[in-house]
Structure 1
Amino acid sequence: MASEADRNPRHHTQQMQTRLQEMMDHLRADIEKVDEPQLEAMFETAAEVLGGLKKAFSDYEQKNESAWRD
């Protein structure tokens, strides 16, 4: 049976935001480790895309967009 936390949407949105931020941080840290401009650009682009997803989870949580309102 699912716990109270498992049923709470905010619990899940917070977890996803944390994981997305961890991935963004990892990608940006790896930019310093490679010496290929195209790969550096790919890592930065991926981090920016994940940032957009993170914002979407935050917007859902805060009901900032009309699509997320009841």
Structure 2
Amino acid sequence: MTSKAESDPRQHTRQMAAYLQETINRLREDIDKVDEPQVKAMFETSAEVLSGLKKAYSDYEQKKESAWPGGKQLHS
């Protein structure tokens, strides 16, 4: 049986965000370890994409986006 803490989606989104941050850090560290410009660009692009995904997890948790149930309507 799943405990209440285990079924809380915020617990899982926080853990996934932490994993994403670890990967982002590793990608950015490795940029300086390679000489090939294409790989540097790929690592930086990957870090940026994962940063956006991490933000989506944070927005979900904080109900910042209107797309999430109970989310706030954002105005441009």
Give the alignment's TM-score, normalised by structure 1.
Answer: 0.95
Q: 1-side partners of 2:13 and 2:64: how far apart?
A: 14
Q: Quick one: higher RCO (CA 8 Å, sep 6+), 1 or 2?
A: 1
Post-superposition CA distance 1:21-62 (Å, at most 9, x none): 000001001101100011000000000000000000000000
Q: Which runs of 5+ in 1 are unaligned?
A: none
Bigger proportion of residues as helix: 1
Does the alignment pair 1:28 with 2:28? yes
SS at match of 2:67: helix
SS in 1 for 2:10: helix
Moved more, 3-12 or 20-29: 3-12
Q: Percent identity at matched positions?
A: 66
Amino acid in the other structure paired with 2:11: H
- RMSD between superposed Cα atoms in Å: 0.8
Q: Does 1:51 align with 2:51?
A: yes
Runs of 4+ aligned residues of structure 1 deviating over 3 Å after TM superposition are none
